[in-house]
Structure formats: structure tokens, C-alpha cells
């Protein structure tokens, strides 16, 4: 019953939100209630997993031999917990943000948000690649109205890029890989150790892996990353959803699932099919960081930072060491909390001051201390400095790279850490230690309360998770313990 609820609750919530459209307070209350309920359900699923209970659900056989199936496993629960928790936080933030900007079409926004979360739940708990693909596509479609929310020509163009990249990669590359896997292996179930061992030649395995990784456009691996900066045109809560809660996380989640449960670490290690991936990811990390250095628009800088951070997860996966896989799982959590704080802060700045550029942020720390403090903490997490959770995940990834003597990876991690510092620290410095530009009247104060509360909460979480990394760490470790 639990898995069905996880899918039904956001969907029914979306329906109720749509019906309550004319009563904003009721509508917002339903959103929050739905989010809370979902988190409770996912927590219950986690407890079940912890107790060793197996929960599986097969809904319907769509094609002879392939059904819509769900199951719980550590990675899914990890992603599910992050997504549902951050939905609560984002909803609170959205209330503050949307109301203070007096945004249009708020009902459509909340409805699509709920549907996007329903799709995300479908992705997290899918038991086979077929189910995952279905919900992956649904996620693209439900987030399109969110990305093009403002309805301007720029939004339309960005929407085209968004759809073009995501649907192009998923239909052209991922679907091909999925059907090919189906014809080779006869099944698409996520199984430990993978389903492709011994079924076909090394060349085909490599080609398939290439198709999968590039076909998972949501992971924003270069050169299919352009949609992410283009999606900047959306309101901040949407960016939070895209970058932290759901979309890109779904991307790297899918890459991890494919690696662990369709191919299997051993098969990839033997055939060397994932070596090129490590280099591609390394290149993405560096290039994205360098581009981020040059971006003055705060949201753009954060977007390229996301691309770089996602590539960390991918590179960690490609290294194929148990430690780095743990790091990959942890980094999903670390990046989610860190990036959402950064975006919330950017939104707070925009709400309070209408500023969007880094160069305009001199001295803003004095006026908005809470916001910039949270920003600082989250930046430290992104760079990977204790006492933030970002340090732990980077530690694991680095250990994994050292363990398998992947020196390129080690060097890239070190260089990119420096680059991260180079594009985050100056912002903090300018905010707190510089004087505001000449002529700044400084009539602004902190952003509205819901916004400030949420961003402080997520910043706090990055600190707390450093001290108590229990659940995410345990789930990530069980990923590699289950491997033979």
C-alpha cells in the first residue's frame, strides 16, 4: 500500500490544488499537507527497508513481458527522502516568493509542481528501466509548464531548448538503448550485478553505455547541458526544483541505477566500458567551473556550478570504486541541500533588492545577514570544507579515486575545489567586507519571513548532516555492501 500511496498522494494533491485554485490559503495548505504526507510515507518506506521488509508492487503489464513495477532499494529511498523533504521546504519558500512577487498562474504552478513530484516518486521507486523511462518522460513534460511559467518569448525559447535537449536525448538515445537492452537481455529489471553480463560483446556494451549516459539528458553531461542554463528563466522555486529537488537529481540517479543495476560494476570494470565516462565527466567538471567563473549573473553561475557538481557524481560512478560510489550517493544529498540553499538565497536577494548580478552584491551582507550567512555555509559545502556535508561526500569520492589510483580524477577534484572556491568565496567576501556601491540608498532589508526561514533551515541541514550523516551514509554504504 505504501508505494501506491507515494504515487497517489502527490497526484491527488495536484487534483485538489487545482480545485482549490480560487482560495489561495486553502490551496497552499493543501500543497504543504501533501508534501508532509509524502515525506511521512517515504520515511515509512525507509523504516521498512531498514527492517529488511521487501515491498514490491506490480501495477500492470503494459507490453507482454514488461510491466509497470516498483520496489524499494537504498538508492531509491535516499533520493525519495531528499526529494520529499525538500518539497516541503520548497513549498514554504514558494509561498513566500510567489506571493511577494504577485506571480500569475500560481495554481498552475503548484499543480505542476505536485505532478512533477509524483513523477519523481515514480522514478525513485521504479523496479525496471521501462517504468523509470515512463516517469522520466513524465517528469520532463510536467516541468515544462514550470520552466515556461512566465509565458514570455524568452520563456518560450528556453522551453524549446529544455524540451529539445531532454526529449531529443531521451527519445533518440535513451529509448534506443532501452529497447536494445531489452532485445539483448530479455528483461529490464533492475538486478544486482546487472542484467547484461555475458550477453553480448564488449563493443556493444560500450556503445550501449554511451547511449545511456548521453541519453540521460537530465544529468547535464556535456555536450547536452545547454538546457540547464536555459531553464534559468523560470522563477526561483522552479530552479530549486530543477537543480536540487528533482530534475537533475533524477538524471544522476538514473545514471547510478543504470550503472549499478543494469550493467553492474564488475561488467563495466571488465569491459572498460566506463573509462571514457570518467574523462568526459572530468572535462565537464573543469569546463563548467571555468565558465561559472566568468558568469556575472548569479543564477547562471549557480547553474554552471550544478553542471560541474553533477559531473562529480558521474565521475564518482565512473571510477567504479566502492568508496566513490558511496561518495556519489552522498553527494546527491550534499549537493541537493547546498544548491537549494544557494538558489533560495539568490531568490531572497532578488525579492528584496531586485538584484541579479554578482557585481551588484557588494555590502549586501550587512543588510541581509541571515541570507548571506546561509549562502556562505552552502558555498562551503559546495567547495567541500568542513563542517559541511559537502566535505564528507568529497572525501569519499577522493578516497575512492586514490584507492583505484585514478590520478586524473584526483587532480581534477583538487583543481575543481580550487575553482569552486574561486567563484564562491569572492561573493561572500564582497557581501560582507565591501562597502555598498556609491549611491546605493539601502532601503531594503531581509527577504520575507518564509523565504528566510527555509533557507536557514537548509543551510542548517548541511551542517547537521556533517555531524550526523547517519541515514544518507548508511543508505549509500548499503549500495556497495550488497554488491558481491
Partner 1 sequence: MISQHLPVLQVVVPLLFAPLCVLLRRHTLVWCVALLVSWCSFFIAILLLQQVLAEGEIVYAMGGWDAPWGIEYRLDILNAFVLLIITGIASVVMSFARESVLKEIAEDRIYLFYTAFLLNLTGLCGVVITGDAFNMFVFIEIASLSSYAMISASQQRQALLAAYRYLILGTVGATFILIGVGLLYAMTGTLNIADLAVRIKEVENTRTIITAFAFFTVGLCIKFGLFPLHYWLPNAYTYAPSVVSAFLSGTTSKVFIYVLLRFLFTIFGAEYAFDVMLLDRILMVVAILAIISGSLAAIYQDNIKKMLAYSSIAQIGYMILGISLVSVSGLMAGILHLFNHALIKTALFMIVACIFFRFDSVLLKDLKGVGRQMPWTTMAFVIGGLSLIGTPLTVGFISKWYLIVAALEKDWWWLAALILLGSILAVIYIWKVVEVIYFQSSNTDSQSSQFKEAPLSMLIPVWVIILANIYFGVNASLTTGIARQAAVYLLGGP
Q: Tell me which H or E stretch contains 413.
A: helix 407-433
Rounded Cα gap, residues 330 and 313, in angstroms = 9
First to last CA, the chain: 31
State the minimum distance, in angstroms, from the CB of residue 270 to partner 1.
23
Cβ-contact 70, 59 below 8 angstroms:
yes
Shortest Cβ distance from residue 130 to partner 1 (Å)? 8
Question: Which residue's CB is nearer to partner 1, number 133 or number 227?
Answer: 133
CB 20 to partner 1: min, Å: 17
The nearest distance, CB 224 to partner 1, in angstroms, is 14
CB of 147 to partner 1, least distance (A): 13
CB 319 within 8 A of CB 278: yes
| Shortest reach from residue 127's CB to partner 1, in Å | 16
3-class DSSP state for residue 189? strand
3 state SS of 126: strand
DSSP string, 8-75: HHHHHHHHHHHHGGG-HHHHHHHHHHHHHHHHHHHHHHHHHHHTT---EEEEEEEETTEEEEEE--HH
Q: Enumerate the H helices of 272-363 as residue ranges.
A: 275-294, 298-319, 322-353
Are the beta carbons of 472 and 330 closer than 8 angstroms? yes
- Rounded to the nearest 5 degrees, what angle is found at the Cα of 350, between the Cα atoms of 347 and 355? 140
Minimum CB separation of residue 321 from partner 1 in Å reads 32
Distance CA 382, CA 461 (A): 14
Nearer to partner 1, 18 or 448 (CB): 18
Interacting residues with partner 1 (CB under 8 A): 60-64, 68, 133-134, 137-138, 141, 148, 151, 156, 159-160, 163-164, 167-168, 171-172, 175-176, 179-180, 182-183
Closest C-alpha among 250, 358, 374 to residue 302 = 358
The answer to whether residues 17 and 114 touch, using CB atoms and an 8 Å cutoff, is yes
Nearer to partner 1, 140 or 305 (CB): 140
Closer residue to partner 1, CB minimum distance, 138 or 421: 138
Shortest spacing between CB 175 and partner 1, in angstroms? 6
- The 10 Å CB-count burial string (b at 16+, else e) for 461-484 is bbbebbeebebbbebbbbbbeeee
Residue among 167 and 385 whose Cβ is closer to partner 1: 167
CB of 369 to partner 1, least distance (A): 41
Which residue's C-alpha cell is 518560450? 156
Separation of CA 215 from chain center: 17
CA angle at residue 206 from 200 to 208, to 5 degrees? 75
Residue 117 CB, shortest distance to partner 1, in Å, is 18
Q: How far is the CB of 266 from partner 1 (least distance, A)?
A: 25
25/183 with CB nearer partner 1: 183
- CB closer to partner 1, 125 vs 423: 125
Closest by Cα among 340, 326, 343, 345 to 462: 340
Residue 56 or 154 with smaller CB distance to partner 1: 154
Pick 63 or 467: Cβ nearer partner 1 = 63
Looking at beta carbons only, is 57 or 410 nearer to partner 1?
57
Using the minimum distance from each CB to partner 1, give the nearer residue, 112 or 298.
112
119, 142 Cβ separation under 8 angstroms: yes
CB of 324 within 8 A of CB of 401?
yes
Beta carbon nearer to partner 1, 212 or 344:
212
Task: For the CB of residue 10, give the shortest distance to partner 1 in the complex, in Å.
Answer: 17
CB burial string 162-180: b at 16+ within 10 A, e below? bbebbeebbeebbeebbeb
Amino acid at each position: 500500500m505504501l508505494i501506491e500511496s507515494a504515487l497517489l498522494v502527490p497526484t491527488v494533491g495536484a487534483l485538489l490544488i487545482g480545485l482549490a485554485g480560487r482560495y489561495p490559503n486553502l490551496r497552499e495548505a493543501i500543497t504543504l499537507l501533501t508534501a508532509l504526507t509524502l515525506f511521512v510515507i517515504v520515511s515509512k518506506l525507509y523504516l521498512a527497508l531498514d527492517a529488511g521488509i521487501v515491498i514490491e508492487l506490480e501495477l500492470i503489464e503494459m507490453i507482454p513481458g514488461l510491466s509497470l513495477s516498483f520496489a524499494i532499494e537504498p538508492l531509491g529511498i535516499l533520493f525519495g527522502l531528499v526529494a520529499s523533504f525538500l518539497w516541503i521546504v520548497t513549498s514554504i519558500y514558494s509561498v513566500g516568493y510567489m506571493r511577494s512577487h504577485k506571480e500569475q498562474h500560481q495554481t498552475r504552478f503548484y499543480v505542476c509542481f505536485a505532478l512533477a513530484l509524483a513523477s519523481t516518486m515514480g522514478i525513485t521507486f521504479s523496479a525496471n528501466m521501462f517504468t523509470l523511462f515512463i516517469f522520466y518522460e513524465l517528469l520532463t513534460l510536467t516541468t515544462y509548464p514550470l520552466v515556461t511559467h512566465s509565458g514570455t518569448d524568452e520563456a518560450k525559447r528556453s522551453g524549446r531548448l529544455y524540451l529539445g535537449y531532454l526529449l531529443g536525448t531521451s527519445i533518440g538515445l535513451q529509448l534506443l538503448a532501452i529497447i536494445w537492452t531489452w532485445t539483448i537481455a530479455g528483461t529490464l529489471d533492475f538486478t544486482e550485478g546487472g542484467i547484461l553480463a555475458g550477453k553480448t560483446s564488449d563493443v556493444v556494451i560500450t556503445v550501449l553505455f554511451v547511449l545511456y549516459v548521453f541519453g540521460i539528458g537530465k544529468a547535464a553531461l556535456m555536450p547536452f547541458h545547454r538546457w540547464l542554463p536555459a531553464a534559468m528563466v523560470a522563477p526561483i522555486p522552479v530552479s530549486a526544483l530543477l537543480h536540487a529537488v528533482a530534475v537533475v537529481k533524477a538524471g544522476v540517479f538514473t545514471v547510478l541505477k543504470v550503472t549499478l543495476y543494469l550493467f553492474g560494476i564488475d561488467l563495466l570494470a571488465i569491459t572498460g566500458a566506463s573509462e571514457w565516462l570518467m574523462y568526459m565527466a572530468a572535462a565537464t567538471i573543469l569546463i563548467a567551473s571555468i565558465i561559472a567563473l566568468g558568469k556575472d549573473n548569479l543564477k547562471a553561475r549557480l547553474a554552471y556550478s550544478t553542471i560541474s557538481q553533477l559531473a562529480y557524481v558521474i565521475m564518482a560512478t565512473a571510477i567504479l570504486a566502492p568508496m566513490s560510489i558511496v561518495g556519489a550517493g552522498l553527494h546527491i544529498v550534499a549537493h541537493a541541500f547546498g544548491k537549494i540553499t544557494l538558489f533560495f538565497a539568490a531568490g531572497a536577494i532578488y525579492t528584496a533588492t531586485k538584484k541579479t548580478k554578482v557585481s551588484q552584491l557588494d555590502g549586501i551582507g550587512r543588510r541581509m545577514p541571515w541570507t548571506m550567512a546561509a549562502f556562505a555555509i552552502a558555498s562551503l559545502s559546495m567547495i567541500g570544507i568542513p563542517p559541511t556535508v559537502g566535505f564528507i561526500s568529497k572525501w569519499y569520492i577522493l578516497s575512492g579515486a586514490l584507492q583505484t589510483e585514478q590520478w586524473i580524477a584526483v587532480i581534477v577534484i583538487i583543481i575543481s575545489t580550487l575553482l569552486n572556491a574561486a567563484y564562491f568565496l569572492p561573493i561572500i567576501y564582497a557581501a560582507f567586507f565591501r562597502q555598498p556601491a556609491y549611491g546605493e540608498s539601502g532601503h531594503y532589508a531581509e527577504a520575507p519571513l518564509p523565504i528566510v526561514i527555509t533557507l536557514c533551515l537548509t543551510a542548517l541541514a548541511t551542517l547537521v548532516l556533517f555531524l550526523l550523516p547517519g541515514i544518507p551514509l548508511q543508505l549509500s554504504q548499503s549500495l556497495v555492501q550488497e554488491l558481491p
